[in-house]
């Protein structure tokens, strides 16, 4: 059986009982947790790639912790540009901490070392990896056994994704990050990130990557280099189900609140397949 884990991102909890952009982020996170519990409680863990809260309030981290306490599997909580580092570390035992106090850490799995990075700059929405954080990453990759693969997680993408408003607030130290990982590119099996609230996949210097919609609001799809407005949307929320084995990594994006019709492909007994398909719904 493949090794399974869950990718959640951009939960944006505003605080107990508070709505955000007309939606209830806590209710949506609760729904995601319930769906994961129902269908994927066999997963090893969940990784939440930042923007756990919208303003970084301690009460919002308490709300997040309460929601995630219902999850039947362990989770790792990372930070994004909407978070506050100290409040996150104070409020969440699931947040990793490196020796310099950044929200960074690792987890060893049967399919490699999972590496969780802190790209938070509390003075900007753009991502930052200072010298200390890049040094920690370099040391972590260098210390791993020579045959160990890596799966890397961060909030900000370290390259443009084509959505202009989000590219303006991507990782500022993209070049420095690329230099640190350069000796290990062949061993990085996948890069996961959040921040852009879009279902996107591709490759970055031959490293496969993926990201997905958040659990509350989304960023509208706009590739115009000079958009009139930076638009958000109420597109469906999603979480990722990731299947890993020695030969492949498969990422499924699941719209967990989707209520569209589900129906059998096969016709009822005694009905012709063509008649069933052309005259659906069958009577």
| Mean pLDDT of the region 195-210 | 97
Domain ranges of the chain: 3-278
Q: Is 27's pLDDT higher than 80? A: yes
Cis peptide bond N-terminal to 79, omega within 30: no
Residues 6 or more apart in contact with residue 124 via CB below 8 angstroms: 81, 169, 172
Locus of tokens 């010298």: 131
Q: Note the pLDDT tens digit of each residue in 258-270.
A: 999 999 999 999 9
Asked if residue 127 lies in contact with residue 172, where contact means CB atoms within 8 angstroms, the answer is yes
Pairing mode, strands 232-233 and 112-116: unpaired
| Mean pLDDT of the region 158-165 | 96
Q: Is 88's pLDDT higher than 90? A: yes
Q: Is 229's pLDDT higher than 80? A: yes
Report the 10 Å Cβ neighbour count for 111: 17
Asked if residue 219 lies in contact with residue 196, where contact means CB atoms within 8 angstroms, the answer is yes
Locus of tokens 């997905």: 212
Q: Is 282's pLDDT higher than 80? A: no
Residues 6 or more apart in contact with residue 27 via CB below 8 angstroms: none
Report the 10 Å Cβ neighbour count for 161: 19
What's the rounded Cα separation, in Å, for the pair 134 and 181? Answer: 10
Q: Note the pLDDT tens digit of each residue in 51-77.
A: 999 999 999 999 999 999 999 999 999
Q: Is 225's pLDDT higher than 90? A: no
| Mean pLDDT of the region 170-183 | 98
pTM value is 0.96
| Mean pLDDT of the region 102-112 | 98
Q: 3-278, which class in CATH?
A: alpha beta
Mean pLDDT of the chain: 96
The dihedrals phi and psi of 182, each to the nearest 5 degrees, come to -50, -45
């Amino acid at each position: 059986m493949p090794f399974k884990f869950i990718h959640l991102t951009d939960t944006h909890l505003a605080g107990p009982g508070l709505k955000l952009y007309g939606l209830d982020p806590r209710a949506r996170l609760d729904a995601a947790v319930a769906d994961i519990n129902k269908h994927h409680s066999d997963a090893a863990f969940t990784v939440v790639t930042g923007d756990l809260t919208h303003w970084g309030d301690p009460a919002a981290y308490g709300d997040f912790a309460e929601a995630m306490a219902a999850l039947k599997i362990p989770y790792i909580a990372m930070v994004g540009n909407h978070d506050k580092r100290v409040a996150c570390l104070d409020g969440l035992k699931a947040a990793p901490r490196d020796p310099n106090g950044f929200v960074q850490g690792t987890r060893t799995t049967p399919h490699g070392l999972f590496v969780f990075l802190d790209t938070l700059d509390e003075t900007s929405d753009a991502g930052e990896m200072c010298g200390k954080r890049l040094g920690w990453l370099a040391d972590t990759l260098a210390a791993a056994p020579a045959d160990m693969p890596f799966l890397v997680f961060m909030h900000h993408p370290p390259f443009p994704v084509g959505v202009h408003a989000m590219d303006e607030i991507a990782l500022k130290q993209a070049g420095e990050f690329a230099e640190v990982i350069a000796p290990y590119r062949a061993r990085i099996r996948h890069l996961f990130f959040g921040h852009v609230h879009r279902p996107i996949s591709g490759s970055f210097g031959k490293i496969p990557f993926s990201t997905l919609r958040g659990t509350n609001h989304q960023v509208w799809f706009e590739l115009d280099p000079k958009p009139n407005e930076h638009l958000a949307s109420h597109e469906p929320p999603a979480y990722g189900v990731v299947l890993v084995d020695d030969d492949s990594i498969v990422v499924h994006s699941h719209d967990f609140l989707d209520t569209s019709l589900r129906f059998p492909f096969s016709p009822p007994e005694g009905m012709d397949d063509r008649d069933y398909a052309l005259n659906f719904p069958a009577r």
